[in-house]
Structure 1
Amino acid sequence: MPSTLPNSLDNWWCPMDGEYAFMGFSYEITACQSPNQLNAEFADIRKNFNGRYVRLYGFCDNDGFYDEIVNAAWNNGLGVHALIWFGFTGGNQWETRRDSLVNALITNPKAKFVTRGVQFGSEPLFDNVLPHAVLASQVLLAKARLEGVQIPVTVSELAYGYQERGGAQDVLNAIDYINIHMLPFFSTLATTGSQAWPIVETDMNWFIQHGDGKKMYFDENGWPSVTSPNVQPNSPYAVASVDNEHQYYTLLDSHCLDLKNAPGGGIGWFAHIYSDLQEPGYGIYDVNGRLKFPFRPRTSC
């Protein structure tokens, strides 16, 4: 990062149509990590894994927390995919979170230089938290509010979330880019991580068909190493293990050219999630802070 803030966003970001392969990590913030922890883990993402971004997951409602995210990202040369979290229990707290985030993005001078985009999530269509027409209107309102800081807006969602709402084409039309939940373990056709490509390709092709050439990312993307009450397969042949988690990311690396050749300049993917302390079974690190398997994903091909 420069020693002083630029005067303009002109030519600040590399274009999205040059981004594909490994982007970085989903990073859950429900623990409201301290500035020291944010700095240390963001440095790890950038230096040890060549991560370009963190994609936020969950929520922290502490005043000023997003400013701490911005500082840690700036200090470590990372971009942020920010999140307006709906949660799983209904209510309208998401509106307060939306307004707090938008205010931080407008008033923090550094925020627009690290915030690559804003997501409505997680899986608001699948969870039916808002009718799809209302969600589309919320996306358009957020885009208008953030126009001055040039931050695009999307929805973080499963293909099935769109499909079960009749395709929700109004949402696909409203968003600036497409953030896709790619969790093939839950498919009724799931077996092992190494055999997941047909499942990935089916959902990928659905978005290609309906996405009007927009940029795509696999943002909540991975394979679990263990099951839990909230992580249960829909196929009797789906295997949750550390080896299968590793195999899934190896599979994505092996299809780097397929991802690169997708519309919008290719598909970038995030690893969900940074640590098992954030979400059991999905972390690259285990609960003791040890890497579960060698992880050096491709950032180009």
Structure 2
Amino acid sequence: MPENNTHWWCDPSTEYAFVGFSYEVTACQTPEQLHQEFADIRYHFNSRYVRLYGACDRDGFYDDIVNAAWANNLGVHALIWFGFDGSDIWETRRDTLLAALHANPLAKFVTRGVQFGSEPLYDNVLPHQVLAQQVLLAKQNLSSLNIPVTVSELAYGYQERGGAQDVLDAIDFINIHMLPFFSQNASTANNSWPLVLTDLDWFIEHGDGKKMYFDENGWPSVTSPNVQPNSPYAVSDIPNEHEYFVLLDSKCEYLKAVEGGGVGWFAHIYSDNMEPGYGIYNASGHLKFPFHPRTQC
């Protein structure tokens, strides 16, 4: 082990294509399941990262994540989950995660960043001034570990808060929710590139050249009570879910050239068992479509 992680990570400019999966942990997966699925994520799909989604409040769970990621050569975008009940449990989750990052000697070699999310601005869980202050406090807490801090958010989440430039200024890198299916102009996935560019260009304009990722990023294969289109022409089926990732794959050279070191993208989400309709795997554990996106170009 090196003494610290100062020169541990690859340069972010090498991360401009597919980088991994969003992975929901609400099920509090066992260490065995984490190892099995992280191995699949790393070696089947050539992923660099898992981006955590949801929350598991079991004691020691983040240590299980760290161990499984370390064993399978994966980095982790950790997450402080607010939830949707308006409670202050996120403060306990914040404190638990920060403590685990300091206590586990492997954590700083696995944790690529800490996210406040998911969509805290859009969901109005905190005023943007308070969220920006929370980011700055977390950065201060983690400075000795060299772990950066961000917010996982939609462009619209910033825009409906007047741009929330204080949050954009506070974060170290930009994790973008890219969900063009919900656009009022959505139709089919292979026609969604202008919708992607609209949001991406907003972050380029306001993001001060910071590194960017599409983290909660995908197109649903089914609708549900929580997944309803805002366009009568938006099509949700497995071919369109697939076509969205094919589209991103075809734009590898464009994403590589974006300022700040290019745009890396995650697939949301690993399995339909985590979030119906978004999984690369269906609820029976079978791939819904061929998935082998480029990791470089």
Instruction: Find the counterpart in structure 2 of residue 95 from structure 1.
Output: 91
Match of 2:111 among 106, 109, 115: 115
Deviations 1:182-214 (A, max 9, x none): 000000000011111000000000000000000
- SS of residue matched to 1:263: coil
Which amino acid in the other structure matches residue 255 of structure 1?
K
Tell me, yes or no, if structure 1 residue 274 matches structure 2 residue 266.
no
1:11 to partner: Cα distance: 1.6
Return the alpha-carbon distance in structure 2 between the equivalents of residues 6 and 300 of structure 1.
27
- SS of residue matched to 1:146: helix
Return the alpha-carbon distance in structure 1 between the equivalents of residues 82 and 15 of structure 2.
28
Match of 1:86 among 82, 89, 105: 82
Return the alpha-carbon distance in structure 2 between the equivalents of residues 18 and 38 of structure 1.
26
Instruction: Find the counterpart in structure 1 of residue 259 from structure 2.
Output: 263
1:15 to partner: Cα distance: 1.6
Return the alpha-carbon distance in structure 2 between the equivalents of residues 9 and 181 of structure 1.
28
Instruction: Find the counterpart in structure 1 of residue 48 from structure 2.
Output: 52
Instruction: Find the counterpart in structure 1 of residue 20 from structure 2.
Output: 24
Return the alpha-carbon distance in structure 1 between the equivalents of residues 5 and 156 of structure 2.
36
- SS of residue matched to 1:157: strand
CA contact (8 A) 2:117 2:153 kept: yes
Return the alpha-carbon distance in structure 2 between the equivalents of residues 153 and 17 of structure 1.
18
Tell me, yes or no, if structure 1 residue 206 matches structure 2 residue 202.
yes
Tell me, which stretches of 5 or more residues in structure 1 are unaligned? none
1:17 to partner: Cα distance: 2.4
Return the alpha-carbon distance in structure 2 between the equivalents of residues 230 and 114 of structure 1.
32
CA contact (8 A) 2:19 2:295 kept: yes
Which amino acid in the other structure matches residue 93 of structure 1?
I
Query: What is the aligned residue count?
Result: 297
1:62 to partner: Cα distance: 0.3
Provide runs of 4+ in structure 1 moved above 6 Å. none
Tell me, yes or no, if structure 1 residue 75 matches structure 2 residue 71.
yes
Tell me, yes or no, if structure 1 residue 247 matches structure 2 residue 243.
yes
Which amino acid in the other structure matches residue 268 of structure 1?
G
- SS of residue matched to 2:246: helix
1:9 to partner: Cα distance: 1.4
Return the alpha-carbon distance in structure 1 between the equivalents of residues 215 and 53 of structure 2.
10
1:221 to partner: Cα distance: 0.1
1:10 to partner: Cα distance: 3.1
Instruction: Find the counterpart in structure 2 of residue 290 from structure 1.
Output: 286
Deviations 1:95-142 (A, max 9, x none): 000000000001100000000000000000000000000000000000
CA contact (8 A) 2:6 2:146 kept: no
Instruction: Find the counterpart in structure 1 of residue 30 from structure 2.
Output: 34
When the two chains are superposed, the root-mean-square deviation of aligned CA atoms in Å is 0.5
With the length of structure 1 as denominator, give the TM-score of the two structures: 0.98
Instruction: Find the counterpart in structure 2 of residue 144 from structure 1.
Output: 140
Match of 1:153 among 149, 154, 168: 149
Match of 2:296 among 273, 291, 300: 300
1:8 to partner: Cα distance: 2.0
CA contact (8 A) 2:216 2:268 kept: yes
Which amino acid in the other structure matches residue 82 of structure 1?
A
Which amino acid in the other structure matches residue 171 of structure 1?
V
Tell me, which stretches of 5 or more residues in structure 2 are unaligned? none
Return the alpha-carbon distance in structure 2 between the equivalents of residues 121 and 146 of structure 1.
17
Return the alpha-carbon distance in structure 1 between the equivalents of residues 153 and 42 of structure 2.
26
- SS of residue matched to 2:156: helix
Return the alpha-carbon distance in structure 2 between the equivalents of residues 16 and 72 of structure 1.
23
Return the alpha-carbon distance in structure 1 between the equivalents of residues 48 and 71 of structure 2.
13
CA contact (8 A) 2:21 2:270 kept: yes
1:7 to partner: Cα distance: 1.8
With the length of structure 2 as denominator, give the TM-score of the two structures: 0.99
1:18 to partner: Cα distance: 2.2
- SS of residue matched to 2:260: helix
